[in-house]
Amino acid sequence: MSDAQGAVPPRLPHPPVFLPGLALFLDLDGVLAPLAPTPDAVGPDARRTAVLARLTQVLQGRAAVVSGRTLAEIDRISDGAARAASGVHGLERRRDDGALLRTTPSPAIGQALQAFHDFAADRPGVLVEDKGLSAGLHFRQAPTEGEAAKRLATDLAASTGLILQPGSMVLELKTPGADKGTAVRAFMQEPPFLGATPVMVGDDLTDEAAFEAAQALGGFGVLVGAPRSTAARYGLPGVSAVLDWLEVVAADAQMEARYEA
């Protein structure tokens, strides 16, 4: 995944649309929903909800949202269309049958939240997010605070044992024990995903573990956004292109199901 002498990687090819036996894993922000100034600014969208509902139906449940957001936030933004889902970077997961699995939060999350709140108190635009299993420090509205935020988060990770998870204009300290890659692997060991070909669609560094997991299990990753060093095999330019592609994938999967019937 390294680039020679810092060269910009070429744009990845468009992913195929005819994918028999597909299992889809989809990030939320930057993939199914545009990035927004604050986490709360992202809301439900009729097209997104329809695409997720149709994919779940035609893939016979083999579609899951795999996000850094909590399951409650995934449900709010997807308007309940994400039947199978993983939240907080794999630390909580809802299986297709509705069963919930959740890691016990680290007691150090409270310490991280307090330090983040102290940091944000005199820095307008810096936001703190409490996900229970993790603490997030957002600086999208205060980009000049990014370096100081990174120093703080790095020091806290070293002193608390929490895992530092960088994202798009956000730094997250999370309970150890899981990531998006472990979430994909766990889903793939259970019905209805068992035996399918996994495809992970994501946009940032938090998705790389899931790209690698999908590839190791016989599938591939799809990177959304600008080209960069990545384990993904294919690419799409943005959210609109993702939804366009998913609609075609769903239509082809429906035709495949009719043919097999």
Give residue 8's pLDDT band: very low, low, confident or very high (50, 70, 90): confident
The CA distance from 140 to 150, in Å, is 13
Q: Is the pLDDT of residue 2 over 50?
A: no
Catalytic residues: 27
**Does residue 25 contact residue 220 with C-beta atoms inside 8 Å?**
no
Q: Which of 229, 244, 242 has the alpha carbon at shortest distance from 12?
A: 229
Q: What is the pLDDT of residue 9?
A: 84
**In degrees to the nearest 10, what's the CA dihedral of 173, 88, 40, 171?**
20
pLDDT in tens, 61-71: 999 999 999 99
The percent of residues in the chain predicted with pLDDT above 70, rounded, is 95
Q: Is the pLDDT of residue 4 over 60?
A: no
Q: What is the mean pLDDT of residues 17-42?
A: 95
Here the tokens at position 127 are 């936001």
Q: What is the pLDDT of residue 40?
A: 92
Domains of the chain plus CATH, in order, are: 17-103+178-260 (3.40.50.1000), 108-174 (3.30.70.1020)
Question: What strands, in cross-sheet order, belong to the sheet with 220-224?
Answer: 100-102, 92-94, 84-87, 63-66, 22-26, 197-202, 220-224, 234-236
